[in-house]
Chains A and B, each alone.
Chain A
């Protein structure tokens, strides 16, 4: 099984990316639907070259898709909260399963620090938020569920991530 470990290590090695790849990623963070021609112009490369790079980043699993961000109140979900869950280890899988089934809970993650699990909740009003929190508590065996309500507009500044080129 020695070979398998080496393969696993290789698969988890960070991918080499250069300055042009970084420029492309930054352009697609700004707008994943940007026209290839415009991205190529911004990077000072041909459309063909940029397309090849994007295909490479996709095939290596760096680019996995795209996300559209919509004002949640337009979809009747103006209430946003983070739910921090404290549980015993044996309940963690149960809780993650529950979160996957509950349509209002998104972006669940196991965490270390203040909470064991962290998830984002969208609800139509505070009463629904309260209900969801109750369901999670009851059905999951969680020791404690902490609801952290987001007030004011959430500021999403994804372009602020400072991706660096990497060469091994």
Chain B
């Protein structure tokens, strides 16, 4: 990663829909250079996705559920995580340290759907307990301010 990579990232993090030529003009390089940097960072897994932002409330969703999953001591967490990832509507899964073992995040359509998700988790082998917290945040996948933190950070690294 060189300065130009961080500059390009900083622009895209601020507004992922910017065209390569707009970024190129601002940074004083060719559009092809910007495209190449973008493709390189994608292939290296540094950029791992560009996701459309959706206001799920417009589609009838009510919020998000955070499933806090406790597994039994002899359970292999990595295997369980792979199973949880397969459950429809689960959009984020992570291993956790501390009060529970696995966190899963799912947008909430209605009570029936959330019950379905929780039951599918409960039915997996090695699950001891599932607790749920709800937010009324219907932004998908994350809130609009998410990119701002990383954009500033990338700009700092470009100008360091």
Complex Cα–Cα for A70 and B78 (A): 23
Complex Cα–Cα for A87 and B15 (A): 34
Are A66 and B51 closer than 8 Å at their CB atoms? yes
Are B89 and A160 closer than 8 Å at their CB atoms? yes
Complex Cα–Cα for A62 and B55 (A): 5
- Shortest beta-carbon distance, B48 to chain A, in Å? 5
Q: Which residue of B lies closest to A163 (CB)?
A: B59
Q: Which residues of A contact B133 (CB under 8 A)?
A: 84, 111-115, 118
Q: Please tell me the number of chain A residues within 8 Å of chain B, measured between CB atoms.
A: 64
Complex Cα–Cα for A86 and B107 (A): 22
Chain A residues close to B by CB (< 8 Å): 12, 14-15, 17, 25, 28-29, 31-33, 60-72, 74-77, 80, 82, 84, 100, 103-104, 106-115, 118, 120, 122, 146-158, 160-163, 166
Q: Which residues of A contact B97 (CB under 8 A)?
A: 148-149, 151
Are B88 and A160 closer than 8 Å at their CB atoms? yes
Q: Which residues of B contact A64 (CB under 8 A)?
A: 53-55, 139, 144
Q: Which residues of B contact A29 (CB under 8 A)?
A: 51-52, 54
Q: Which residues of B contact A68 (CB under 8 A)?
A: 9, 12-13, 16, 47, 49-50, 147, 150
Q: What are 13 residue pairs bridging A and B, where the CB atoms are less than 8 Å apart in the complex? A: A28-B52, A33-B17, A61-B58, A67-B147, A68-B13, A69-B49, A70-B48, A77-B150, A103-B152, A107-B142, A110-B135, A148-B97, A151-B94
Q: B51 contacts which of A69, A77, A108 (Cβ < 8 Å)? A: A69
Q: Chain B contact residues (Cβ within 8 angstroms of A): what range?
A: 35 or more
Complex Cα–Cα for A21 and B138 (A): 19
Are B94 and A66 closer than 8 Å at their CB atoms? no
Are A158 and B58 closer than 8 Å at their CB atoms? no
